[in-house]
Amino acid sequence: MINKYLAISKISKIRSQFTEYIECELRKRGIEGLVVSHGNILDILYENNGKLTMKEISEGIHRSKSTVTQLVDKLLKANYVTKEADSVDKRYSYIVLTDKGLSIKNDFREISENVINEFYKDFTDEEIELLSLLLDRVIQNFIR
């Protein structure tokens, strides 16, 4: 008999191990005030010259504006980003990487690369493709 709960349990375990791995790597490098969920925001800022609106971040990482607001607030408090008003239209503001945020870019990239290498260790290209397709199917099952 197939245990349908087993895959869900394994996905949860992967997430926990993934989170623990990244947080351990951050601690080893003396990087404080960051959690795994900040990674997407930093990544999209690194890819866009360090400056985006909240809406652009939200759309770019596929998260709600309220979730992004909470994450950005923590990045602001930890001084990884700052907020700047648009010089032309004061209704808009940008989230901008600070020197501190820029200073961890190489560490961030190395940790990300290490996570990817660990995740796919001993996988063939075909297995990686199959895993991605199967996970896409699971994601589609929850889209309403």
The CA distance from 42 to 76, in Å, is 12
111-140, pLDDT tens digit by residue? 999 999 999 999 999 999 999 999 999 999
The helix/strand/coil state of 114 is: helix
Residue 101, beta-bridge partner list:
none
Q: Which structural domains are found in the chain, ordered by start?
A: 33-103 (1.10.10.10)
Question: SS in 3 state form for 78-103?
Answer: CCCEEEEECCCCCCCEEEEECHHHHH
**C-alpha distances in Å from residue 61, one per residue of 9, 48, 88:** 25, 13, 26
The predicted pLDDT at position 2 comes to 81
Confidence of residue 144 (pLDDT cuts 50, 70, 90): confident
- Global confidence as pTM: 0.84
